[in-house]
A and B are shown apart, each in its own frame.
Chain A
Amino acid sequence: MEMDWIWGLIGGLLIGTGGAVYLLGNGRIMGASGIIGGLVDGSGLDTKWERLVFLAGVVLLPVLLMPYYGSVDTHVTDNYVVLIAAGLLVGIGTRLANGCTSGHGVCGMSRLSLRGFVATGFYIVAGGIGVIIFRHLLGVI
């Protein structure tokens, strides 16, 4: 749809506003992988309620918005081998790199963090090459 970029921009502004509220309100960097990872590996249990309430907001708002959209198709593949491999790579990779699209991308690059730019450069190039290999050469996605 040709209007997608406008919704992308509006959604992006909301995402950035969320990051701004989390930073200035609670002194936290809004990184999804760090917030989730700290809960499951036990390293962030001292702030577990803050993390859980944040994630509750992430899950709940799409539920509240859904009636205005009717239905939304996420087009998640039904190839479970691909999903398991992808999930493991995302889980391990983001925790090794200490960040994902939100932490390194949105929060890191907006403060001109060198690590943010390096991480984002590598995951975008790796993702692009991955799509070329797995879609165009191997045809599995």
Chain B
Amino acid sequence: MYLVIAFIAGGLFGAGLFISGMTDTTKVQGWLDVFGNWDPTLAFVMGGAMIPMAIAWLIRNRRVTSLVGTPLPPPPSTKIDGRLVTGSIMFGIGWGLAGLCPGPAIASLTYGGPGLYVFVAAMLAGMIFAPALRARLDRPVPAE
């Protein structure tokens, strides 16, 4: 059952990324490029996505477990540390450089061409390398 739900959730995510145009790197870079030909699409995608998600968080507050019986995520941490800021700045620069973030990169795997494979390979390498860097930045490593 939880696998069916995971597939539906992933499918909605992939369909949404595709339909919204977020797998087109020019739309992402166009949104970040406030001094160029600014493209507002990403704001509508983000705003649209937050509506059902906010409702889901409100429903979550009235429930103890998920549909399949697993615990629901605890309230968010409020810890603002160097890792969060440094990581977000690194991510932002990479996002602007290529116009790709992890979700759209995976969604466009079948039609992104060879350049996309290069990006995804580098992204996966970075993700493999990250825990070693994380351990050096702070220890003990906080649980996700």
The answer to whether A118 touches B85, judged by C-beta atoms less than 8 angstroms apart, is: yes
B2, B34, B49: the one within 8 Å of A128 (CB): B34
* Given the contacts A76-B112, A78-B115, A92-B133, A62 and B41 also touching, CB distance less than 8 Å: no
* Given the contacts A10-B19, A15-B48, A107 and B91 also touching, CB distance less than 8 Å: no
Chain B interface residue number, banded:
35 or more
Which secondary structure dominates where chain B touches chain A? helix
Q: CA of A30 to CA of B10 in the docked complex: distance in angstroms?
A: 9
Instruction: Write the B73-85 contact mask toward A (1 if CB under 8 angstroms, else 0).
Output: 1001111100111
Q: CA of A106 to CA of B33 in the docked complex: distance in angstroms?
A: 21
* Given the contacts A20-B53, A118-B84, A59 and B110 also touching, CB distance less than 8 Å: yes
* Given the contacts A66-B111, A95-B131, A126 and B21 also touching, CB distance less than 8 Å: no
The answer to whether B144 touches A80, judged by C-beta atoms less than 8 angstroms apart, is: no
A interface size (C-beta, 8 A):
111
A-B contact sample (13 more), CB < 8 A, given A4-B27, A17-B16, A76-B112: A7-B41, A8-B22, A30-B13, A36-B123, A40-B124, A56-B7, A58-B103, A61-B107, A62-B14, A74-B112, A89-B97, A115-B80, A126-B91
List, sorted by A's number, 17 A–B pairs whose CB atoms are closer than 8 Å: A14-B12, A16-B16, A18-B8, A23-B72, A24-B66, A25-B9, A54-B13, A61-B12, A74-B23, A86-B97, A86-B98, A87-B98, A92-B130, A111-B57, A118-B80, A121-B88, A123-B91
